[in-house]
Amino acid sequence: MALRQVQGDLGDAKRDLAEDHSQRNPLHLWFDFVPRSKYIGNMKKNAPKKKLNYAEAGVDIAAGDDAVNRIKLLARKTFNENVLSEIGSFGGFFKPSLDGFAKPVLISSADGVGTKLKLAFMTGKHDTVGEDLVNHCINDILVHGAQPLFFLDYIATGKLHPEIIAEVVTGLSRGCVNAGVALLGGETAEMPDFYQAGEYDLAGFIVGLVDQDKTINGSTIVKGDVCIGLASDGLHTNGYTLARKIAFELADLQPGETPSGLNMTIDEALMQVHRCYVRPIHSLLKDHEVHGMAHITGGGIRGNLRRIMPEGLCAEIERGTWPTQPVFEFLQKTGDIDDADMYDAFNMGIGYILVVPPAEADSIIDQLTDEGEAAYRIGIVTKGSAGVRLE
């Protein structure tokens, strides 16, 4: 009885409320008493249906096919007798030649171009960032004495533009050809709503081969060894978040403008291609003893050289033993950047460092110079716990 009484009271209250609403707004009664989900459902059911396809959702398969066809032509330029597959296969086949390797070991690395890509977006110049990527990855495994074999790339974008993809792969192909590396395959992904319009991301993967007994890892570095620095071509692929802020915000420059102190435009200075050291270094390793090598990337000289220094030893690097490149002078002066921050963010004109026996230093510098490299005696290994000290 109590339950029925409560239900009855609720029913009376609901009728009173409905009468009150209907007097103020007759339409209000409709929406109070017609189930909203049913009403909206009927509207959707009666509305004309629009067919949706993959292209309208944002993925253009035809553009993807066009991009792949362009990539095939560029990739084939890098193929050699070791490549056993075609672009478009589910996997890339590579049969390495093991002649001369007593204990062959595979070595691999992966990297990206970072915010240097923002310069490609700003300038519309996309044919060098791929070469940057290939050279960066090759140098990373070169420090262990590896011979690069093949390269894989990953390109992702919100909307696929085959002509831009072709420009990017042109750089990848050129870098691979110059280093004798096969562009074995890759992935091009179109992901709507994931990237800003006109932008893409680029990553690469390198695989190389080294004889286990000839691996270089810094373990043989001793007190008295000499540090030899090879010149970079500008910033290579690191420090661009800071460099862009200085150049395009603080200095308010535009692509195509030449700031005081530079003999090229700001975009030309910042987009110089990451230098690849594979050919002169492999030529050197045939005749000379090298105890350690470091690729100077993010973290600068200190952050990368310390990665190969044995416990209890310190590489003392003397600043001023190599020429200062104008682009670094411009960035430091314009941004009012401390020396320590400059050396942590940028390579400061040294892209690669070798640690060698003192008796070999002069002949190594001479050979590198003959190979077209600018090589400088920049430091010495001493006892210490700092790993690397800049003086």
Q: What confidence tens digit (pLDDT) does each residue in 262-301 have?
A: 999 999 999 999 999 999 999 999 999 999 999 999 999 9
Q: Can you tell me the distance from the alpha carbon of 69 to that of 56, in angstroms, rounded to the nearest whole number?
A: 23
Same domain, 266 and 362: yes
Report yes or no on 323 lying in a domain.
yes
> Who contacts 43 (Cβ-Cβ below 8 Å, separation ≥6)?
none
Q: Can you tell me the distance from the alpha carbon of 317 to that of 305, in angstroms, rounded to the nearest whole number?
A: 10
Same domain, 262 and 363: yes
Q: How confident is the model at residue 29 (pLDDT cuts 50, 70, 90)?
A: very low
Same domain, 65 and 158: yes
Report yes or no on 39 lying in a domain.
no
Q: Can you tell me the distance from the alpha carbon of 274 to that of 360, in angstroms, rounded to the nearest whole number?
A: 27
Same domain, 273 and 351: yes
Please say whether the beta carbons of 156 and 134 come within 8 A.
no
* Sign for the pseudo-dihedral over CA of 211, 217, 221, 227: positive
Least trusted range by pLDDT, from 46-50, 90-94, 102-106: 46-50
339 Cα distance to chain centroid: 26
- Collapsing DSSP to helix, strand or coil, 191 comes out as coil
- Mark which of 160, 194, 214 sits at the end of a domain: 214
Beta strands 182-190 and 200-211, pairing class: unpaired
Q: What confidence tens digit (pLDDT) does each residue in 204-226 have?
A: 999 999 999 999 999 999 999 99
Q: What is the CATH number of the domain that holds 165?
A: 3.30.1330.10
Same domain, 199 and 320: no
Q: Can you tell me the distance from the alpha carbon of 79 to that of 98, in angstroms, rounded to the nearest whole number?
A: 18
Please say whether the beta carbons of 69 and 57 come within 8 A.
no
Report yes or no on 26 lying in a domain.
no
Residue entry with tokens 């533009």: 161
- Collapsing DSSP to helix, strand or coil, 234 comes out as coil
Q: What confidence tens digit (pLDDT) does each residue in 149-196 have?
A: 999 999 999 999 999 999 999 999 999 999 999 999 999 999 999 999
Given this model, what pLDDT does residue 364 score? 98
Spell out the alpha helix ranges (H) of 157-229.
162-179
Same domain, 294 and 175: no
Q: What is the CATH number of the domain that holds 304?
A: 3.90.650.10
Element (H, E) at 210: strand 200-211
Same domain, 209 and 74: yes
- Mark which of 214, 245, 273 sits at the end of a domain: 214
Cα angle value 181/186/192 (rounded, 5°): 145
SS3 of the chain: helix, strand, coil, percent, to 5: 45, 20, 35
Total of domains in the chain: 2
Q: How confident is the model at residue 44 (pLDDT cuts 50, 70, 90)?
A: low
Mean model confidence pLDDT for the chain: 88
Report yes or no on 36 lying in a domain.
no
Same domain, 70 and 203: yes
CA dist list (Å): 170 to 207, 232, 381: 20, 22, 41
Q: Can you tell me the distance from the alpha carbon of 263 to that of 258, in angstroms, rounded to the nearest whole number?
A: 7
Q: How confident is the model at residue 27 (pLDDT cuts 50, 70, 90)?
A: very low
Global confidence as pTM = 0.84
Same domain, 262 and 378: yes
Report yes or no on 232 lying in a domain.
yes
Same domain, 80 and 204: yes
Residue entry with tokens 């690069």: 148
Same domain, 266 and 208: no
Report yes or no on 30 lying in a domain.
no
Q: Can you tell me the distance from the alpha carbon of 361 to that of 287, in angstroms, rounded to the nearest whole number?
A: 13
Report yes or no on 121 lying in a domain.
yes
- Mark which of 191, 214, 237 sits at the end of a domain: 214
Same domain, 237 and 289: yes
Report yes or no on 7 lying in a domain.
no
Please say whether the beta carbons of 202 and 133 come within 8 A.
yes
Structural domain range at position 356:
226-390
